[in-house]
Amino acid sequence: MKLKEKLKQNKLTIGSWVTIGHHSIIEIMASAGFEWLTIDMEHSPISFETAQSLIATTKSYGLSSLVRVGKNDELIIKKVMDSGADGVIVPMVNSKEDAIKVVQSVYYPPKGKRGVGLARAQEYGIGFEKYKNWLNNSSVVIAQIEHIDAVNQIEEIISVEGIDGIIIGPYDLSASMGMPGEFDMPEVKDAINKVKQACVKNNFPLGFHVIKPEKKLLDEKINDGFTFLAFSLDFFFLGEKAREEMNSFKSLVSAK
């Protein structure tokens, strides 16, 4: 089942995050069984050229390829969609107007305002009609909820036609409340719960980025009703396993 269809039916789907701009990372992550990967162009040095290569590699493994763009900017969104991305995750969508702008940047008229170009997504011109149909039926648009302003306007944001789901960014959300990284603070928990309640009430796909690569944290979110889940990211999986095994080795050596 396509990612768009899973979102429409509010079915559980699990992906991960890519910040290291090399095709081998995609190949390794793809072998783990994720359904989609998000290429992060906001908090990584990944360029448009590298992103296009990573998109192609991701899709060659049968995974959906999303791009977290750097900002809610029509030129940036247009370029990653023209590169062949299956969809975008857009940061700091804090209002209904922001959400409308995202949708307009992804879709061609009359649904949106995206300029028409002939690039990789359109098979360099020969697949434009096919791409138009795909865009309207299969592309994915995710609004990132990562500011208290977005929390306070969550009902309006998810009411925008063309937004397929939302994903909570816990670090920036807590930072916008003056408590960066303090996810256990009551105010932060209340903000996340407000988003959750709005999505559940409207049967709207509720997403979260589980940062630490710990299955129990993923299980907690699934049990809490989250269905669009990003499970950790490339460097965390690499770093955590390396540290875990080396700490185990050092403990064994020091015990001798």
Q: Are strands 165-168 and 228-233 parallel, antiparallel or unpaired?
A: unpaired
Closest CA to 57 of 29, 90, 15, 92: 29
Query: Annotated catalytic sites, by residue?
Result: 43
> What are the φ and ψ backbone dihedral angles of 34, each rounded to 5 degrees?
-65, 155
Closest CA to 145 of 63, 66, 205: 205
SS3 label, residue 140: strand
- Residue 141's contacts (CB-CB under 8 Å, 6 or more residues apart) are 87, 88, 90, 102, 103, 106, 162, 163, 164
- Residue 137's contacts (CB-CB under 8 Å, 6 or more residues apart) are 4
CA distance from start to end of the chain: 53
Mark out the alpha helices in 83-153 (DSSP H runs). 96-106, 128-138, 148-152
Please spell the DSSP secondary structure of 198-255, one letter per residue: HHHHTT--EEEEE-S--HHHHHHHHHTT--EEEEEEHHHHHHHHHHHHHHHHHHHHHH
- Does residue 110 have a cis bond before it (omega within 30 degrees)? yes
Handedness of CA 222, 16, 169, 227 (dihedral sign): negative
